């Protein structure tokens, strides 16, 4: 089956040749390294609760682009942060992201049987184990960050912990998921949908990027720049995700598609239309990149990543 090109970056967006080859290589290496770190920090399956460890690992090692850890690494790299520290933060975020996927897939939530082309955790194990594996992955994210190996300074670790908790909790990811569920009965307008997405998926992207500045103890304006990039990046990610959901196939997306439509949820694509969504995505990719102008060519990976999203097929 041929690979559908859903959105592709127009020449106007960039003046550098974009093959994304280099970016793909860097993403691949980052994914490999963060998986190595996850291998070290996740518990080995053993003891009477072996099944819990197996479920945690089943869900975490299911492939995936490891986009969030790549954001951490790229942002940390702007300030010369030691890679093992950024990898630990990336592993914590990936554990937390995986917990959110496990719980979102539960029968009482989105009721999805398929994720990244494989049975979801509650299908491969059982519902109770899936709930517990999610709980344990959320908890271990905080455990990883609280370890001095993440950063020798306790105030840096505390700031990471505080910001992750805010991004993941009731004012961030979990709150956004609640609004998303309520939206089935109370359809939202554009501004509300953008606000919802900023909580549901955006807050964690913002944390990923700001984590680079936190690890580096960078200046307040660095935090602001990375947050501005991340805000546009997050919305761009969501728009391209909605496009995939609307026009993708199960085969290319590796999960159930057209679910939003079925459930009658307003998405950014259903509000803007496919053409409007494409234009908005391009605008966001451009603006995300320009937020990083002060870093010059050092930030090319992050700019390329935004453009890369325009071309994503999964």
The site for a second copy (CB under 8 A) is made up of: 43, 47-49, 51-53, 56, 99, 103, 106, 108-109, 126-129, 131-132, 134-136, 138-140, 142-143, 145-147, 153-155, 157-158, 161-162, 164-166, 168-171, 174-179, 181-182, 188, 192, 195-196, 199
Residue 157: CB minimum distance to a second copy, A: 5
Min dist. Cβ of residue 91 to a second copy (A): 14
Nearer to a second copy, 171 or 250 (CB): 171
Residue with Cβ nearer a second copy (171 or 219) = 171
Q: How far is the CB of 93 from a second copy (least distance, A)?
A: 14
Nearer to a second copy, 139 or 290 (CB): 139
- The helix-helix angle for 220-247 and 203-215 (nearest 10°) equals 150
Is the Cβ of residue 29 or residue 154 nearer to a second copy in the bound state? Answer: 154
Shortest distance in whole angstroms from residue 108 CB to a second copy: 4
Q: 75 is written with which tokens?
A: 């942002």
The minimum distance between CB 102 and a second copy, in angstroms, equals 10
Whole-number Å distance between alpha carbons of 175 and 179: 6
Nearer to a second copy, 110 or 232 (CB): 110
């Amino acid at each position: 089956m041929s690979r559908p090109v859903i959105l592709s970056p127009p020449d106007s967006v960039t003046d550098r040749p974009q093959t994304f080859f280099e970016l793909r290589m860097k993403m691949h290496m980052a994914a490999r390294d963060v998986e190595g770190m996850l291998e070290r920090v996740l518990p080995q399956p053993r003891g009477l609760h072996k099944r819990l460890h197996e479920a945690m690992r089943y869900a975490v090692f299911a492939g995936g682009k490891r986009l969030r850890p790549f954001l951490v690494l790229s942002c940390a790299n702007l300030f010369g942060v030691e890679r093992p520290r950024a990898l630990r933060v990336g592993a914590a975020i990936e554990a937390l992201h995986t917990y959110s996927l496990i719980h979102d897939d539960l029968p009482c939530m989105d009721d999805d049987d398929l994720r990244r082309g494989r049975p979801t955790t509650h299908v491969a194990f059982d519902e109770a184990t899936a709930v517990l594996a999610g709980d344990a992955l959320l908890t271990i994210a905080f455990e990883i960050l609280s370890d001095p190996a993440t950063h020798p300074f306790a105030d840096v670790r505390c700031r990471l912990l505080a910001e992750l908790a805010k991004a993941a909790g009731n004012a961030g990811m979990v709150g956004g998921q609640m609004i998303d569920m309520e939206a089935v009965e109370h359809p939202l307008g554009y501004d509300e949908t953008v606000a919802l997405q900023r909580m549901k998926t955006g807050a964690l992207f913002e944390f990923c990027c700001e984590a680079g500045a936190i690890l580096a103890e960078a200046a307040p304006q660095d935090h602001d720049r990375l947050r501005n990039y991340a805000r546009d990046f997050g919305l761009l990610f969501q728009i391209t995700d909605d496009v995939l959901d609307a026009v993708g196939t199960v085969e290319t997306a590796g999960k159930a598609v057209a679910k939003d439509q079925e459930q009658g949820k307003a998405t950014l694509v259903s509000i803007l239309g496919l053409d409007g969504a494409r234009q908005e995505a391009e605008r966001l990719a451009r603006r995300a990149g320009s937020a990083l102008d002060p870093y010059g060519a050092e930030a090319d990976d992050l700019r390329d990543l935004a453009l890369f999203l325009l071309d994503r097929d999964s």
